[in-house]
Structure 1
Amino acid sequence: MKKNILFGFAACGAMLLSANVATAQEAVAVEEVTITETEAVECGDHFYSERGANWFLQIGAGMELPMTDRIADGQEHHRHITASYNIAFGKWFSPYLAWRIGATGGAYHVDADGYNKAKYINANADLMWDMFNSFGSVKSDRFLSVIPFVGLGVSRSWGWAHDPALYTQHGAVKTRVWEFPVSVGLQLRFRLCKYVDFFAEGRYGLFGDEFDGSAIGQNVDMNLNVLGGFNINFGGREFKSFNPCDYLGYINQLNGQVNDLRGALATCGAALAAAEAQLPCPEVVAPECPDAQAPLLSTVRFTINSAKITSTETVNVYNIAQWMKANPNSNVVIKGYADKDTGTASYNMKLSERRAQNVYNMLTKEYGIPADRLTIKAEGSDSQVYDVNNWNRIVIFSQN
C-alpha cells in the first residue's frame, strides 16, 4: 500500500516538472527576425548633378578658313584666313555627355568666280563627349580633357562685296544666302580652377554649294574654324556619386548583431528555465547574462577619395550624438577607414584620419558632445572591415 502511494506521488511530481519546463521554455521563445533586401538593385557608381551645377558659358575667338571651289581656268585661287568670334552656352548632364548651343560669326573671303567677301553668322547645336571620363575614371579635377563633338546648324551670309553668282527662280540676284551645315570637331579643355577652363577647339563644317556665293563646281563647300577662349562653369564642374549596394554590408552587420542578441537571450532563458524546473525548489542562483548594451549600429559612408560628410550621412552622426546624450557614461571610439584599391597606404591613412576628424568635429561643434568622451583612430586601408572594396570608405563607431 505504501509503495503504491509513493509511486503516485512520484508520477504527480514528474507531471508537474514537465509542465514547468514547458512553461518556462514557452516564456523565453524568441521570434526570429532577419533584415533582408526587398528588391534587387544594380551595383555600381551612379552619378548625378546638383541643381545649378555643370552649366557653362563659352566665350572665344579665332580664325576661319573657307575651302571652296576654284571656278575659272587659270584663275589664281588663294585660301583666305579671317577672324571669327564665338559665344555659346551648355550643360554637362552626365560626366560623359553635354549639349551646347552657340554662335560663330565674322567675315569670310573666298575666290569663287572671282574674289568676294561677305559677313556671316553660324548657329550650331552640338553634342559633346568627354573621352577621358568615358574610358577612365570620372574626375572633376582632371587638368586636360579631350572632347569630340558633332553638330547641326544654320548659317546666314550677307553684305557681299560683289553680287554673288546666285539667282532666285525669278532671275533676281540673291543678296542673302542660307545654309544648313553639319560639322564635327575636337575640343581640348584645360582646367584652370573649379569655375574657369581654357579651351582650344577646331570645327570642320560641311555647307551647301552656295556658301561661297557660287553654285558652280563642287556640290559641297567646307569651312575650317579654329577657336580659343574660356569656359565659365556655373556652380562648378563636379558630379556627385552613389552606389545603391553600399548599404548591403550595413544590412549584413545588422543581421549579425540581431542574431548575436537573439542567441544570448535564448541562452539566458534556457538557464533560467532550468533553475525554475528544479524540485524541490532550492535557492535560485541568478545566471550571469551577457551585458546587452545597445549596439552602435550607425556608420558614416564616404565617396571615393573624399572626407566630406554628405547630407544623406549626416543623420547617422546625429543618431550617435543622440545615443551619447542618452548614455552619458559611455565613451565612443571613431574609427576611420579607406578602401585599399584606391591610393597608397600612406595616403589612405591620412584620408581615413580626415574622415574620422570630420565626424569628430561635427559631434563636438554641432551636437555639443564633450571632446573627452571621443577618441579618434585612423585605420587607413591596412585593415578592411568588408570584403567588398567600396564598402570600406567608412567611419565606424565602437564603445570605449
Structure 2
Amino acid sequence: MMKKTLFAALALAAASPALAQSEQTAQNGGITEKVEYTDDKYKVETNHFWDNWFLTVGAGPQVMFGDHDKQIGFGKRISPALDIAVGKWFTPGIGVRLMYNGLSLKGATRWGAAHSTGEQVPGWGSGMDYSKFKYYNLRADVLFNLSNLFCGYRENRIWNSSFYAGVGYMRTWEAPTAGDITMSAGWLNSFRLCDALDANIDLRASMVDDAIDGEIGGSKFDGLLSATVGLTYKFKRRGWDRSKTVTRYDQTEANAMRDRLNEMNQEVARLKEALAAAEGQQKQEVINKVIAANLIVFPIGKTTLSKEARANLQLLAEAIKAGGSNTVYTITGYADKGTGSQKTNERLSKERAEAVCDCLVNEFGVSKSQLKVEYKGGVDNMFYDNPRLSRVVITRSK
C-alpha cells in the first residue's frame, strides 16, 4: 500500500507542470479580455501556411552499391553529394520537404559499356573499367520530429532528432541516360545555433532500379548511402505559441445594471427611513416591491459567478436581510435556447440558479428558508432580442 501511494504522488508531481495554466487579463473600455495559456508541452497553436518554412543546404560523401562492388573497393566508390531542400513544419512533430540531391556517382562497368572512365580496374583485366556519371534526384520527404513527438515541444531544445521517408525521381545526366523512381529513408539530426539557424547531420539510404547506372546485373536495385553536413535557415514566422483560450466579457451592460441596483438600494434606504414609524408588515411589502427583481448574467456555457455578479448579490443580500424574514424570494435560472442541447440547457439553468442561491446563503448569510430555486432550461431571447441576456438568473420576491 505504501508503494502504491508513493507511486501515485510521483505521477501527480510529474503531471502537474503539464496541467498548469497561466492567465493574463486586459481591459479595453467596457471589454474585459482574459487569456488562459496552457503549459501542456504537447499542445500548441495551429500555425498559418507561411509559418515555419525552412531552407537547407548540405554536402558530404556518398557511396553507390551496384553490380560490381566486389571488383572495386569501398573507398573508390565514394563521391561528393550536394543537398538543397525547402520545406515546412505543419506541427512541431510533422513536416514535409522537397529536396534536390546529386552531383556524381562512382562504380565499375564491364567492357566499358556504361559511363566508363577508360581506366581499368586493377586485377580484373581489360573487361572491367572504373565508371563515373552525373545524376540528380528530386525527392519529397515526410519528416517526423521524434524529439517533439515523444518529449513535447520546447522552443530552445538544442538537439532535435527526426526520422524521414520519401519518394522521388532519379535520372542520370550523361548517356546512356536512365531514370526511375527512388525510395529513401533517413535520420536527420538538427543542432540549434540560434533562433534562425540550425546545423544538420543527415544520414540517408536510397534505393533505385538496377538500370540507373546503365548496366543490368543480378539484382533488381542499386543503392545509395550518404552522410551530409549542412545548415538550415528558418524563415519567419518560426516556432509555435502555447495553446490558449480567450474569453471576452462586455462589461457595459453589467455596469449599467450595477448602477441601477445601486440606485435601487439608495431608494430602499430612503424608504426605510420614511417608513420607520409604519407597521412592520406594511414596511415589508414596500421593501419587497423595491427589491422585487435582480438579474445576474453568465457567459455562454458557464455556471460560475464573476466578481461583478458577486458584488451585485452582496447588495441584494443586504436588501433581503433588511426586509422581513417571512418574505420568500424565487431564484430562477435560464439558458440561451439558441446554443446547446435541451439537456445541456436544463443543466446550465439549474446550476446557475443553485450557484446564486449558494452565494447568497454561504457567502452573504441569507436564510435558506427565504429562497426558492427554479430553472427553466433554454429560452428564447428575453430582453432586447439579445441571447446573452437569456443566460441569466433572475431573483424575484413572491
Q: TM-score, normalised by structure 1?
A: 0.48
Higher-strand-fraction structure: 2
